[in-house]
């Protein structure tokens, strides 16, 4: 189980506190180390000076050649030096030692100094010490002061940073309140991006665009539900009416058979609507093509024309195929799309005209279109041709037998192949089709 993420405010506050603690600690540690180094340098310089002085005193005492004279000279000098200690020994015997150095902290240095006495040269072991207790106390006080500065500085910056973070994140809370008050039916009142910080404006713009798409989907859903209810109500009403009428009195077998035949037609219409709606629902959920293979698009078009051969003869129309292309498609879906387009063209084509199913190859797609001559389509209706249950000409013959999902299915099939749909009507010629994206 993944850990629960902290709030942005908590994480930013903790980061500010951690960075402040680290930064102040590094700075204060550097101050302490530099100060301690300076004190050490000062103490070493002082020891060097004292060592030079002791060597000078020993040189002067050599002229007298007497250790008693040497002790006298050293006593006179070190009687006034409380913070300096000196010990001189020769062959394990103490020749001179200043006052005891039991208290405080001492920094010592051992020296070997040549000494001449009676024409002979011998070495004296000299131990020189400097009392560093005062510097140690100063360093200790400095350490506690710097530690207090780190703690208090971190606490102060953390509290201030927490307040600043909370204040800086306040626009997010305001934005959350604004978005909570939004609804799909209020998308015409988008959030004003200019009223918020520049960093939030891209998010607000995207949210407004998303809300607009949701509102469009909401409106389309309401319209779709109303259209579905309308389309299902007519065949259901016909079924109920004919059945009730058949039950009002005794009927012969022939009359009942006629009623059942009529009801079967209405049931077939209901089944067609449900089947088409299920197909569109699967397409909307992102269902991909079932089986793809490289096929001839012209061959698929000719199969569709053969299926509509009787209907074409009845309408006094002809159909032909122009062009060809080998495409990796779901052949059954392509035939279904061409079938819907050809059936639509037969309904509205001018008598004794020829319907063309054209194939073309683009740079990254194949283009399939059905062209017929006839009454032009209103330009305002062209963008809506592929909407569900939309009919550009409700009053035309046969509109009640077609439930307005044919072109919507064409659009879904094109989308399943990564393509698009298009429609144009100009100069008495209507062209409706779709594209299929090249695979690979």
The band of 65, judged by pLDDT with boundaries at 50, 70 and 90, is low
pLDDT tens for each residue of 93-124: 777 777 655 566 888 888 888 877 666 777 88
Predicted local distance difference test score (pLDDT) of residue 403: 64
The band of 62, judged by pLDDT with boundaries at 50, 70 and 90, is low
Mean pLDDT for 214-232 is: 70
Q: Looking at the predicted structure, is the pLDDT value of residue 342 above 70?
A: yes
Predicted local distance difference test score (pLDDT) of residue 379: 85
Q: Looking at the predicted structure, is the pLDDT value of residue 28 above 90?
A: yes
Predicted local distance difference test score (pLDDT) of residue 125: 85
Q: Which of 33-47, 280-294, 377-391 has the highest mean pLDDT?
A: 33-47
The band of 396, judged by pLDDT with boundaries at 50, 70 and 90, is very low
Task: Please tell me the pTM assigned to this model.
Answer: 0.52
Q: Looking at the predicted structure, is the pLDDT value of residue 401 above 70?
A: no
pLDDT tens for each residue of 208-222: 888 777 777 777 667
Q: Looking at the predicted structure, is the pLDDT value of residue 357 above 90?
A: yes
For the ranges 19-23, 183-187, 269-273, which has the lowest average pLDDT? 183-187
Residue of 187, 177, 181 lying closest to 213 (CA atoms): 187
Higher-pLDDT residue of 190 and 352 is: 352
Residue of 287, 284, 267 lying closest to 221 (CA atoms): 284
Residues 6 or more apart whose CB falls under 8 angstroms from that of 99 comprise 78, 85
Mean pLDDT for 313-328 is: 90
Mean pLDDT for 190-200 is: 78
Q: Which of 175-179, 223-227, 387-391 has the highest mean pLDDT?
A: 175-179
| Element housing 242 (H / E) | helix 201-247
Predicted local distance difference test score (pLDDT) of residue 150: 92
Mean pLDDT for 213-241 is: 74
Q: Looking at the predicted structure, is the pLDDT value of residue 435 above 70?
A: yes
Mean pLDDT for 409-437 is: 89
Predicted local distance difference test score (pLDDT) of residue 398: 45
Residue of 182, 66, 179, 170 lying closest to 116 (CA atoms): 66
Instruction: Tell me if 89 sits within 8 A of 101, measured CB to CB.
Output: no
pLDDT tens for each residue of 258-305: 888 888 887 887 777 777 777 777 766 666 666 788 889 999 999 999
Report the alpha-carbon distance of residue 286 to residue 412 in Å, rounded. Answer: 10
Domains of the chain, CATH where assigned: 8-163 (no CATH), 200-283 (1.10.287.130), 289-437 (3.30.565.10)
Report the alpha-carbon distance of residue 132 to residue 84 in Å, rounded. Answer: 10
Burial class (CB in 10 A: 0-12, 13-18, 19+), 260: middle
Which stretches does DSSP call E strand in 45-197?
84-90, 93-97, 106-117, 120-131
């Amino acid at each position: 189980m993944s850990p629960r993420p902290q709030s942005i405010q908590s994480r930013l506050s903790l980061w500010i506190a951690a960075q402040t603690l680290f930064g102040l600690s590094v700075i204060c540690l550097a101050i302490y180390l530099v100060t301690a180094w300076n004190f050490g340098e000062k103490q070493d310089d002082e020891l060097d000076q004292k060592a030079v002085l002791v060597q000078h005193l020993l040189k002067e005492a050599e002229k007298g050649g007497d250790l008693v004279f040497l002790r006298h000279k050293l006593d006179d000098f070190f009687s006034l030096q409380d913070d300096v200690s000196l010990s001189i020994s020769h062959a394990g015997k103490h020749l001179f030692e200043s006052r005891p150095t039991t208290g405080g902290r001492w920094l010592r240095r051992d020296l070997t100094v040549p000494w001449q006495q009676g024409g002979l040269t011998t070495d004296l072991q000299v131990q020189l010490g400097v009392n560093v207790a005062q510097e140690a106390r100063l360093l200790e006080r400095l350490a506690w002061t710097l530690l207090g500065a780190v703690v208090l500085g971190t606490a102060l910056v953390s509290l201030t940073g927490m307040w600043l973070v909370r204040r800086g994140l306040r626009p997010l809370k305001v934005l959350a309140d604004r978005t909570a008050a939004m609804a799909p039916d209020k998308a015409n009142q988008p959030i004003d991006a200019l009223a918020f910080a520049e960093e939030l404006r891209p998010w607000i713009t995207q949210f407004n665009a998303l809300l607009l798409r949701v509102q469009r989907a909401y409106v389309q859903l309401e319209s779709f539900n109303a259209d579905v209810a309308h389309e299902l109500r007519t065949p259901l009403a016909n079924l109920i009416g004919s059945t009730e009428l058949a039950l009002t009195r005794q009927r012969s077998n022939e009359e009942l058979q006629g009623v059942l035949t009529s009801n079967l037609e209405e049931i077939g219409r209901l089944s067609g609507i449900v089947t088409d709606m299920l197909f569109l629902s699967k397409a909307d959920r992102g269902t991909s093509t079932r089986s793809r293979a490289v096929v001839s698009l012209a061959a698929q078009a000719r199969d569709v024309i053969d299926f509509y051969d009787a209907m074409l003869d009845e309408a006094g129309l002809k159909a032909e195929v122009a062009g060809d292309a080998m495409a990796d498609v779901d052949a059954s879906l392509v035939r279904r799309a061409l079938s819907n387009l050809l059936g639509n063209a037969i309904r509205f084509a001018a008598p004794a005209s020829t319907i063309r199913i054209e194939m073309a190859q683009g740079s990254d797609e194949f283009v399939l279109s059905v062209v017929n001559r006839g009454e032009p389509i209103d330009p305002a209706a062209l963008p809506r041709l592929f909407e569900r249950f939309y009919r550009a000409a409700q009053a035309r013959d046969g509109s009640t037998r077609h439930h307005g999902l044919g072109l919507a299915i064409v659009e879904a099939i094109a989308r399943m192949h990564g393509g698009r749909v298009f429609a144009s009507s100009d100069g008495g010629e209507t062209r409706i089709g779709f594209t299929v994206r090249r695979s690979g």
